[in-house]
Amino acid sequence: IYILAIESSCDDTSAAILHNKKVLSNVVATQKIHEEYGGVVPELASRAHQQNIVPVVHQALTKANIDKKLVSAIAFTRGPGLMGSLLVGTSFAKSLSLGLDVPLIEVNHMQAHILAHFIEGDTQKQPPFPFLAMTISGGHTQIVLVRDYFDMKIIGETLDDAVGEAFDKSAKILGLPYPGGPLVDAYAKKGDPKAFPFPKPKVKGLNFSFSGLKTSILYFVRKEVEKNPNFIAENLNDICASIQYTIVNILMDKLKIAAIQTGIKQIAIGGGVSANSGIRKALINSQKELGWQTYIPNFEYCTDNAAMVGIVGYLKFIENDFAKQDVTAKARYFITN
Ligand code: ATP
Ligand code: FE
């Protein structure tokens, strides 16, 4: 089975070809335009998708070295995401499925972030059911109980900002360009995580909150800059390391509660923030310290990519779970129906 997958939920246009569970190609065109604005501008994102989608799909086919006549089905991200962005991928996928006369498969982006673990590769190991998945991305922060491929239950989530936003907004306070998450990670590697203690939010149970942290970072930086205008430049590594340390601790604290409450020690992460070296390290340490089995996706399957849409496409294909031609994009789309 060959799946052609399309992802266009936010600001990356991506296309992939999978042969069963193996990725033959995974092309991602990242939109640079948003850097100038310090965040994703929806109108510009949809325009860039419109521009990129044909060349990106073409490149995915060329890299996979297969003829489009071999494609068994078209999988696409239906939601959640930015409506204008989703519409480009959805419309393109529908037309292509009609043109090639192959079935259409709709994919939930957040399920895809989790099911990316089932892509077959040399270095990825697949979690056994049931497992806990923490999806940490630009728009979501959830702890999900995964009983089966399409049997998922959210047991905790953020009450305000997503963890990716917390990284990006902190970076913005420090004057770093968008998206700042990877930059905070890079500077953090050279800094002291305990240089500046930031308070952890007091949220009960398995839910998260990140807006208070952002505010306390803002006030702290403002106060220090008043005393020393060069405070940020002189302490960038330490500030980033301290922010990352606090965020990783918040995530790990909740995962620990979830593991105790559910009795599940198979722990997976997914979404863009799972590329973060701090959380990756904390999870690897937990294997020894807590006896967890942890599952961390390959870098390329952490941030938005079409390969993860393709694996969901394959899993739905073998269950004959196809979409109708009148399917519409959904900006809000939950992983549990
Ligand atoms: P969602 O998946 O919730 O719809 P999204 O698709 O925009 O949101 P992703 O592409 O999954 O989000 O993740 C992007 C986020 O991941 C950004 O906030 C980015 O800063 C963050 N991120 C990426 N790499 C790192 C890293 N190494 N450290 C911290 N954050 C990172
Ligand atoms: Fe995403």
User: Letter for the amino acid at 166?
Assistant: A
Distance 35 CA to ligand 1 centre (A): 14
Question: pLDDT digits over 33-81, tens only?
Answer: 888 888 899 999 999 999 999 999 999 999 999 999 999 999 999 999 9
Choose among 106, 83, 111: nearest CA to 335. Answer: 111
Residue 337: its pLDDT value, please? 55
CA-nearest residue, atom 1 of ligand 1: 139
Distance, in Å, from the CA atom of 18 to the CA atom of 6, rounded to the nearest integer, reads 11
Ligand number with the minimum distance to the CA of 176: 1
Tell whether ligand 1 has an atom less than 6 A from the beta carbon of residue 97: no
Instruction: Decide if pLDDT at 122 tops 80.
Output: no
Ligand number with the minimum distance to the CA of 12: 1
Please state the pTM of the whole predicted model: 0.96
Mutate to test the pocket of ligand 1, among 49, 137, 140 (most ligand atoms within 8 A of CB): 137
Q: Which of the 8 DSSP states describes residue 120?
A: B
Give the ligand 1 atom nearest the CA of 277. Answer: 27
Choose among 31, 154, 162, 90: nearest CA to 331. Answer: 90
Choose among 27, 11, 74, 56: nearest CA to 312. Answer: 74
Instruction: Decide if pLDDT at 241 tops 80.
Output: yes
Question: pLDDT digits over 151-161, tens only?
Answer: 999 999 999 99
Q: 77 with 8: CB under 8 angstroms? A: yes
Distance 138 CA to ligand 1 centre (A): 4
Question: pLDDT digits over 225-235, tens only?
Answer: 999 999 999 99
Tell whether ligand 1 has an atom less than 6 A from the beta carbon of residue 275: yes
Mean pLDDT of the 103-107 span: 98
Question: pLDDT digits over 180-206, tens only?
Answer: 999 999 999 999 999 999 999 999 999
Mutate to test the pocket of ligand 1, among 82, 167, 247 (most ligand atoms within 8 A of CB): 167
Distance, in Å, from the CA atom of 294 to the CA atom of 73, rounded to the nearest integer, reads 32
Helix ranges restricted to H, the chain: 42-64, 83-100, 109-115, 163-173, 181-188, 211-227, 231-262, 277-290, 307-317
